[in-house]
Chain A
Amino acid sequence: MARTIAGVAEAIERSVYTEEYARADGFLQRVDPRAKVVVFICAVLAVGLSRSLPVLLALYVATVLTALASKLPLGFFVKRVLLGVPLFAGIVFIPALFLIHGKPLVQADLGFLHLAISDNGLISLAIFVTRVSASVSLAILLVVTTQWADLLKALRVIRVPSVFIVVLGMTYRYIFLFLQTVENLFLARSSRTVGRATDAEQRRWIGSSMGTLMSKSFKTSNDVYQAMVARGFTGDVYTISDFKMRDEDWLFVSLSVVLLALALIFDLGLR
């Protein structure tokens, strides 16, 4: 568990906190964050509404090409999505695979149970997995090509409630602090442990560590609240935003919306 937490902390620090890709000089990095948020919301909607596999595949490929144009390594981007998402989405969908009727492709008679995978079932699975992969790819692409501060500001501009954005910002701000705390708890324990602890001892220790972390997070939240109150916070959050949309940003939004609309029209034609 210590190794897992250290690994998670390191991965977050390396891939998220350094904002290495958000600072790269790529295509999406040059686009106004508000334009990006609007286009990505439209793209996720288009992916959600599409029902044909070719259109979904085209949207996924377009997402991967945009990632490449934004100087994201293909391995980093595709692995991140393909390793986890289809696996979990597939597990969710597997029961339905046997319930959708159509021309049977694979059959198994277990005596008391007859299992059959139909062509419609397989197509539905492919559509579902592609849809999830494309949606998650879009979300990852937006997050890794936009600095977190700019993303939060962009959300403000599109009228996402301030409280939600403040909570989101603080979660991001402090989650790494707590991961470091957990890592230190494990290190402190290792430095005072000789031999291997029994399972019961391990469970007891993990339980008490969770309690310690909880009380630490309560204290921190209380301190942060006091620090906010000390600077005039009374429950409402006021912010400043200083983005300027350029002609290129308007062009990006317009072209993207038109292309997504065409994809949906094409999708309707294929049904």
Chain B
Amino acid sequence: MRHFLAILKYDYLQRTRSYFFLITLCASLVIAYTFLPSPDAGYSTIRISDYVGYYNSSWVGYITAILTSVFLSLMGFYLITGSIKTDSETRVGQIISATPTSNFTYLLAKASSNILLLLTLVGIIFLMSIGLFFLYGDSFSFELLQFVQPYLIIVVPTMVFISVLAILFELIFGKYTVIQNVVFFFLFSVMLLYNPKSELQQTYDVFGSKVVTQQMEKTVREIKNTVSNEELAIGYIVSSTQQTKRFKFDGVDFSTPYILSRMALVVFGFMLLFLISPLFHRFNLRERKNIVRKKTLLEKEPITNDINISGLAIMSKNYSILPLFKAEFLMLIRKGKSWLWIFNSLGVVLLTVLSIDMAHQIVLPVLWFLQVHRFSDITTKETTNRMHYYAFSSYLPLRRLLTSQLSSAVVLLLGLALPLLIRYVILLDVQALLSIVLGSFFIVLLAAISGLLTKGNKFFEIVYFFLTYANLNKFPLLDYFGGIVKTDMFWIKHSTVVFLMVVATFFLRKWKLNNN
């Protein structure tokens, strides 16, 4: 118990004391704020046919709860995953593995820390939802139970399960984080699309949201006096406030089997953790890897040579950034598993053969996203590789080193997009061409700025994931590469944003150099 509490406490403190967490907290607040649109907003988040609920306690409580359950499951997973990897990188794990702490105790503490982290965010969103009720729901009475009940029954078990799942995925997929993220996204999509037909099937709903949305649909059907299924839309749905009709939602009477199923989800998660704990590597990865594949180089011969300092060839001054660019580009290419280049090659072929719209709108964002691990640490890799002393004491570090880092990543992205660029050149579509170039700058600069602000690469990876997801769903506001929006104003606006991002990147880097 002592070990458990110690790991839990310090893991939680370590993770909450990061810029990354602070920024995630702010982002959660912003997202939570949008969960409940203002009465005159041009969008809704949950809509049944033309209906949305009056902003009474039930609607505000349940809406924010189910949106939190769904969105925080996705975002939260990417936020909390990697805690074992962090222990491995910081070598804290190796120290823990030499203590009497059992596998299960360690994993349970890690899962519990995940739970606390997500519940911290849930708590903030919960308070925000109450604040929003008082902001928008002026004519309805405040009923605390209508807030507490859905959060307790729907959100908390989901967060516990996702927390445990993050640990399980880390154990199963190890260092293959790309596969881990893709598999989770696939699983998330399956869970989201799950449509229970009976009360029993509702108990299998991991997010716990279907019981609420089906109750809402039922209420609307009764108002409309129809038996046909009403069209339910969840997400940021653009809609006219004038066409929107209102209905009164009074919450859900959760059945005992449903409540038991939510408790069972928690128990099931911990049971899975217990069952898989014997497979935990106890941070023996490096040794295993060395034995199987890469042995540390050993010197067979004793050292006999000496350096004749006065006899060393004298190098001349050379301020070209080309050698820096070359090395940075080489590092980008070599990063990650070499088999990922099979996917890249496939993407390049698809950019060549598919219809130009499909290539631009679907293949390009996916192909670029597949490179996320290569450049997400563009401004943090010096620190993570303990190269920052060299970087900070290099000659003209902003003008030469930072420029070569940014340009190598842009060239990588444009190189991958080359078939599409050539197609647009042939079509003389300058606007599309410029949009892709600006898109590559935008995403690289976003990685650079995120790294400089959060001192890590995770925030960017999460944001980029959602950006890609939004673009695949053709959300025009987040189109960064001109795949969806094709107006004259787009690239003018976009080039202004990119210019400002360049300024911000150089400013932040300079600030960091001066305040190290």
**A and B from one complex:** no
Taking Cβ atoms with an 8 Å cutoff, the residues of B that contact A are none
